[in-house]
Amino acid sequence: MGFHTFPVERADQLDDPARYRFCSLEELVYALDLTPTDTVLDIGAGTGFYTLGVAPHAETTIGLDIQHRMAEHLMDRDDRPPDVSPVVAGTDALPLADGTVDVAFSTMTFHEYSTAQSHAELHRVLRPDGRLVAVDWRRDGTGEDGPSLEERFSLEEAVSQLQGAGFHILRAESRPETYLLTARPR
């Protein structure tokens, strides 16, 4: 992913239920609009906080992270169902076949992987009727949580990047501290 990675020694913070104040599991599942046969890709899965919450709504869930230790943490979780697979890779070279992902999502990591190459890779692995859902920190937020304001994108910048990468924007909304985007490959 992009600019930095979350410190593994603070991984337990990624499992803090207080994170739901920025995006509840119910809101995320609703935005993903999953079917029981979907293959889902969690981009920047970390310890699997959102991955494990989404998994019961899909057939297969892939927890992608660039850090081996984060993937090991997810793999070693006692509550990880067998249909959740941790994968170590960057978003600029996804080890997935073309058109094999129904829904890709990221929670608070869009700013980490937002490059032309990563967007092209996501476009490649998504099915033509697939969806990308991104919840991330707003550039005009307070900066009290999450990365520094300089590392963030505005909603308009994120929309422009995805449109430039061949995505059609289905939903784009600002919320306190974050934005939520849903896009489909064109």
pLDDT tens by residue, 176-186: 899 999 999 99
pTM, to two decimals: 0.91
CATH number, domain containing residue 43: 3.40.50.150
- Give mean pLDDT, residues 61-87: 88
Cα–Cα distance list, 92 to 47, 86, 88, 131, 141 (Å): 21, 17, 12, 18, 27
- Give mean pLDDT, residues 140-159: 91
Domain count, the chain: 1
Is 79 part of any domain? yes
Instruction: Specify the higher pLDDT residue, 181 or 22.
Output: 181
Is 126 part of any domain? yes
pLDDT the model gives residue 2: 43
Torsion of CA 84, 67, 108, 161, to 10 degrees: -100
Is 100 part of any domain? yes
Rounded to the nearest integer, the mean pLDDT of the chain is 91
Supply the range of the domain harboring residue 60.
8-185
Is 128 part of any domain? yes
Whether residue 3 is predicted with pLDDT greater than 70 in this model: the reply is: no
- β-strands 167-174, 178-185 pairing: antiparallel
- Give mean pLDDT, residues 131-141: 95
